[in-house]
Structure 1
Amino acid sequence: MTSVPYPPASSAVPTGKERGASAAPDAGSALYTRIERKLKQEIVSGVYAQGAYLPSSGELGKLYGANKNTVLRALRMLRAEGLIDFGRGRGAVVVHSAPRVSLAEISEQLRHVVNLADVSGISRAAVVAAIQRIPPSQGPRTSGVLPAAASRRGGAGRTAFTVHGRGDA
């Protein structure tokens, strides 16, 4: 199993103190919902790969400005969706992550974007420029660097466990 470094502070979910004109569009929703959405987005996009451990609920609480119970509520939502599994003393591990896609699949998606831009009167050069402004993905965080909490939980030497009854391959 691998653990991952923490997401950059700039990717943190805005707390209630940061609400206002510049807050995220879902700033009116409950903090646990915003934490769940952010973690889900990071899991689905591959920031946290299958088998990776999430930071502890206490560490996530510090990262997102929430108490431990709020973070646990968000984690329970992710567990109900089948994305993670966790339990007291064993940490939260990603059990289902983003599937790998081929270049052909990405090309097909780009074809749809270009067609939408064409009918909207947006030049292909503007689409390419918009793509180039997107910051590079950091990819799955599966480095061998373990945060202190992960190493206390067993870290890389920990044996994998299987979630039975899911039908996941």
Structure 2
Amino acid sequence: MLFRVDFASPQPLGDQIAASVRRAIAEGTVSPGDRLPAARTLADSLGVNVHTVLRGYQRLREEGLIELRRGRGAVVVDDTAARGRATLQLRVRELVELARELGLSEEEVVGMVRRGLG
């Protein structure tokens, strides 16, 4: 799996790390049960603080995409819906980025989503 971070990006580094994993899950390049790199190893290879990696992993855990297990590290969940959730999260982030570029307010974007769900 390829991890990339852009130190010049306004997006927090932990979020960039989470996005790399999310993308890999959505594209199917990582599978349920696959282990992610150890936080310290990944931090060293990216040149970031280990807590930055852990923040990214924590976000993925909160989204239900990985499990954090003591002694086993971060593992992609064995859940058929995980790939769909990862894809949806990517699309949501793309929506938010586009909305910001267009200067839309949060209320406008939420309204559009609500109308789309209706």
Give TM class, smaller chain.
0.5 to 0.7
Choose 1 or 2 for highest CA Rg: 1
**Structure 1 residue 15: Cα displacement:** 3.9
- Moved runs in structure 1, 4+ residues, more than 4 A? none
2:24 equivalent to 1:42: yes
Correspondence for 1:73 among 45, 52, 55: 55
Distance 1:38 1:77 in 2: 12
Q: Distance in 1 between matches of 2:35 and 2:29?
A: 11
Cα distance, 1:83–1:58 mapped onto 2, change above 3 Å: same
Higher RCO, 1 or 2 (CA under 8 Å, sep at least 6)? Answer: 1
Corresponding residue for 2:12?
Answer: 30
Deviation by residue 1:107-164 (Cα, 9 ceiling, x = unmatched): xxxxxxxxxxxxxxxxxxxxxxxxxxxxxxxxxxxxxxxxxxxxxxxxxxxxxxxxxx
- Decide whether the 8 Å contact of 1:15 with 1:65 is kept in 2: no
Quote the Cα distance in structure 2 between the aligned partners of 1:50 and 1:63.
Answer: 24
Structure 2: runs of 5 or more not aligned:
85-118
| Higher fraction of helix | 2
Asked if 1:88 is matched to 2:70, the reply is: yes
Q: Partner residue of 1:13? A: 4
Quick one: percent identity of the two aligned structures? Answer: 35
Q: Can you list the C-alpha shifts for 1:69-109, whole angstroms capped at 9, x where unaligned?
A: 1101100100011100013322111004436xxxxxxxxxx
* TM-align CA RMSD: 1.7
* 2:80 is aligned with 1:98: no
Q: Which runs of 5+ in 1 are unaligned?
A: 1-6, 20-26, 100-169
